[in-house]
Amino acid sequence: MNKIWILFKREYKAAVKTKSFIISLLLVPIMMGGSLAVIFIMEDNQDTTDTHIVILDHSGLVEGMLTEKAKLRNKNEIFNPETGEQFLPAYILEFISPDLNNSFDQKLELSEKIRTKDVHAFIEIGKDVLHPGEWTEDDFIRYYSEHTFMDNARDWVSNSINNFLREQRGEALNLDKDVSKELMAWIRIEGMGLVDIDKKTGEQQEAEKTSEIQSFLVPYIILMLMFMLTMMSAIPLLTAVMEEKSERIAEVLLGSITPFQFMMGKVLGGIGISLTTASVYIGGGIAIANFTGSASIIPYDILPWFFVYVIFFVLMVGSGMAALGATCNDNKDAQSVQFPAMLPVILPMFLIMPIIQNPSGTLATTLSLIPPFTPTIMMVRMATPVTIPLWQPILGLVLVILFTLFTIWVGARVFRTAILIQGQKPSMKNLIKYAFRG
Amino acid sequence: MNTIELKNITKTFGSLVAVNDLSLNVPKGSIYGFIGPNGSGKTTTIRMIMKILYADSGSILLNGKQHESLRLNNIGYLPEERGLYKKMKVKDVLMFHGELNNGTDLPAKIEKWLSHFDLSKFSNKKVETLSKGMTQKLQFIATILNDPEIIILDEPFGGLDPVNAELLKDAILDMQKRGATIIFSTHDMSMAEKMCDQIFMIYKGEKVLDGTLQSIQDQFGTDTIRLQTEMGAEALEGIEGIERINNYGKQQELRLSQNIDHQKILSLIMKKTAVLKFEITKPSLNDIFIRIASPERKEAENE
């Protein structure tokens, strides 16, 4: 044990003292903070150049209404009422009559104008929009632009026209204006958490409003943290061991220590690095959250789980990586085994959306109980506002511990045999041979 | 008392028999030289003594005991392939190896040895800044830092200049005086002749020589003549009874056929040229090595 400790100290010092460690420790928060800052700056500095929109109205209904609405909007809604500063672009509408004979040519000409940035978008309104139904194909509103997604002007046009058409239909039914307004009222659903009773004080706790941030951002940050921590501590063990093998440091050390001590010293070094990084990030996160007054989003109750799972995840992936590193002779070998070995770390990244959307679903529950994926996916599930039954993280942890012991056992056998064998490729056949025949 | 005992050790790698049924006794306090051509099994034997490799069969005793768990605090090991962490400082890397071998009073020992090998001024430099020879001296210091009872050196002199080789030789002899048992493998036959109490030669995984230099040379008799003449090697052409001529330019070493009289050869040479030196001697270790492992012998074996 004493020798593992000496190796651990060396590994930890060697890693923590490097510039790359300090840079990555600082870079991640800077990048995350930076992208948030960019979003805020972008919000403050919206593009305020006029948005030029051309409308081909087959229905002949909306010109007066839209012109009036745009005029009101350009006058009232695009300036900051306090400073008078413009923060949204003005909408400049141009109605042209549709060319029924050369419809395509007309649209082509408009499309060219969009490509040359003279026009932002053009809209084609079908003639039967007021009375849509199966009897006609002309009940459409089409918005032609280079980016139809996330376009504020499109939402504005859609809302304006639809509200107007509903009013028109109401008027046709001789509905009173107030009645038709009520008819069109739309009430947003507020997302709430659950009410609870404080177990210690017995106090009633009202449900809190849940937000997108809580249900998405927190699990996402947990996922990214898990990914970052293993990328910084466990994954580099592959090339580190490979280098120690090819530079013959391994043989010198094996004069004084057993292969198992060697491997564990390195893996524990990895755990030290990941816990250091986790403490810095989480400590920093808590400080920032407190500073910005959003401390309530920090899921303190799952932090102990997080640290326990990180330790076993790094132990599991790290011992696998160290063993694979021992089978590699050069960078080419290392590259060929690195990707498959990284799957437990990478795969959860692709599955984040379905898991966050349905943390109690079959996919999420099953994956979170398959040991290589458990640490990441269980933590993501626990970070969502949904309550995960306590037996699941406990069972997950037991399985992870068993699986980790297995990877250490196999890893140590592979490591012991492979570390001195030069020139053999890290093929599946060799790996199995090292693991089970020694 | 034998410090190291190998009993019927066999090690195979796939179909290759690297070491075959090898037994060896290394007495306490001796310097034991391992010689043999490249790939003959020296390093494999050393790695098995170090428990880096496990023998397929046979047993290895250290101080009369199996050393399964006695992992090697009292053994200093310098492998053939050197390797130190390049990014570490010289004194840190020594501290690290010293600690791994449960060393005590390390800073003082480190200072003493660095100054002995003229490396003090590099104490705070990174290992990667040292030359090859300096790295080798550093690695040697790391090996002997804890005054180990057993020292195993795989090719310790490779790549050292004569001054440093001398320093290293003196350090090894000091260790022996202090009571250490030393095994070293080498390709430098004259160093082995001068330093080793006993010599062991392995060839194709088999023990071919084992004993003191004297006893080994006795096996080969006095069939060797060192000769210096005015004509040089030309004078020897056409003389019967000379099996092999090793021409060093100014001096020739002759191996005679069996049952040939030295005096007869001398008279034949004297007929051709003036003889400046004529010495009847035992074969050198170098000559014995070549006799065992020369290409001619390999061919003869293959026929």
What is the helix (H) or strand (E) element at residue B225, kind and residue range? strand B224-229
Where does the pLDDT of residue A205 fall: very low under 50, low under 70, confident under 90, or very high at 90 and above? confident
- Give CA angle at A228 (A223, A233), nearest 5°: 130
Contacts of A249 in chain B (CB under 8 A): 83-85
Instruction: Give the residue numbers in A contacting B (CB under 8 Å), as ranges.
Output: 2-3, 6-7, 10, 14, 244, 247-258, 420
Distance from CA of A313 to the nearest CA of B (A): 27
B132–chain A Cβ distance below 8 A for any pair: no
For chain B, the residue count is: 303
State which residue of chain B sits closest to A257, comparing Cα positions: B71
Q: What does the pLDDT read at residue B191?
A: 87
Task: Give the pLDDT mean for B129-157.
Answer: 89
Q: What does the pLDDT read at residue A212?
A: 65
CATH of A50-183, one of 3.40.190.80, 3.40.190.10, 3.30.420.10, 3.90.950.10: 3.40.190.10
User: B124: helix, coil or strand?
Assistant: coil
Distance CA B96, CA A8 (A): 11
Nearest to B186 by CA among B225, B153, B223: B153
Amino acid letter, residue B152: I
Nearest to A376 by CA among A231, A262, A270: A231
% pLDDT > 70, chain B? 95
Position A46 pLDDT exceeds 80: no
Distance CA A219, CA A229 (A): 15
Distance CA A54, CA A113 (A): 10
Position A245 pLDDT exceeds 90: no
Q: What does the pLDDT read at residue B259?
A: 78
B267-286 per-position pLDDT tens digit: 888 888 888 898 888 888 88
Q: What does the pLDDT read at residue A68?
A: 92
Question: How far, in Å, are A59, A107, A109, B94 from residue A112 at the CA level?
Answer: 24, 9, 5, 73
% pLDDT > 70, chain A? 95
Q: Which of A71-80, A422-431, B167-176 has the lowest mean pLDDT?
A: A422-431
Please give the residue that has the higher pLDDT: either A403 or A83.
A403
For chain A, the residue count is: 438
B261–chain A Cβ distance below 8 A for any pair: no
Give the domain ranges of chain B: 2-217, 222-281
Residue A69's Cα: distance from chain center in Å? 38
Where does the pLDDT of residue A198 fall: very low under 50, low under 70, confident under 90, or very high at 90 and above? confident
Q: What does the pLDDT read at residue B232?
A: 82
Q: What does the pLDDT read at residue A384?
A: 84
State which residue of chain B sits closest to A245, comparing Cα positions: B83
Position B244 pLDDT exceeds 90: no
Q: What does the pLDDT read at residue A408?
A: 87
Task: Give the pLDDT mean for B84-101.
Answer: 90
Distance CA A275, CA A92 (A): 56
Q: What does the pLDDT read at residue A173?
A: 85
Q: What does the pLDDT read at residue A107?
A: 92
Of B72, B82, B96, the CB nearest to A10: B96
B69-90 per-position pLDDT tens digit: 445 557 888 888 778 898 899 9
| Mean of all residue pLDDT scores within chain A | 85
| Mean of all residue pLDDT scores within chain B | 86
Contacts of A250 in chain B (CB under 8 A): 83
Of B52, B76, B142, the CB nearest to A254: B52
Position A214 pLDDT exceeds 80: no
Beta bridge partners of A56: A96, A124
Task: Give the pLDDT mean for A72-76.
Answer: 89
Residue pair A98/A109 in contact (Cβ under 8 Å)? The answer is no
B19–chain A Cβ distance below 8 A for any pair: no
Distance CA B240, CA B232 (A): 17
Nearest to A9 by CA among B96, B138, B91: B96
Distance from CA of A236 to the nearest CA of B (A): 16
Rounded to two decimals, the ipTM of the complex is 0.78
Q: What does the pLDDT read at residue B70?
A: 47
A4-18 per-position pLDDT tens digit: 999 999 989 988 888
Give the domain ranges of chain A: 50-183, 213-437
User: A420: helix, coil or strand?
Assistant: coil
Phi, psi of A144 (to 5 degrees): -100, 120
Q: What does the pLDDT read at residue B69?
A: 47
Distance from CA of A417 to the nearest CA of B (A): 9
Please give the residue that has the higher pLDDT: either A342 or A125.
A125
Residue pair A305/A336 in contact (Cβ under 8 Å)? The answer is no
Distance CA B33, CA B193 (A): 9
Domain B2-217 is found in CATH 3.40.50.300: yes
Phi, psi of A288 (to 5 degrees): -65, -45
Please give the residue that has the higher pLDDT: either B272 or B112.
B112
Q: Which CATH architecture has domain B222-281?
A: 2-Layer Sandwich (3.30)
Question: How far, in Å, are A407, B46, B126, B195 from residue B184 at the CA level?
Answer: 38, 9, 28, 10
Position A177 pLDDT exceeds 80: no
Position B303 pLDDT exceeds 60: no
Alpha helices, DSSP H only, in A45-190? 63-76, 103-115, 152-172, 177-183
Position B242 pLDDT exceeds 60: yes
> Beta-carbon neighbour count of residue A93 at 10 Å?
19
DSSP letter (8 states) at residue B129: G
Distant-in-sequence contacts of A305-308, Cβ < 8 A, 24+ apart: A305/A378, A305/A379, A305/A382, A305/A393, A306/A222, A306/A225, A306/A278, A306/A282, A306/A379, A307/A275, A307/A278, A308/A397
Task: Give the pLDDT mean for B29-55.
Answer: 88
A389-422 per-position pLDDT tens digit: 889 999 999 999 999 998 888 888 888 788 877 7
Distance CA B143, CA B152 (A): 9
**Which of A246, A249, A252, A413 would best serve as a mutation to test chain B binding (most B beta carbons within 10 A)?**
A252
Q: What does the pLDDT read at residue A171?
A: 84
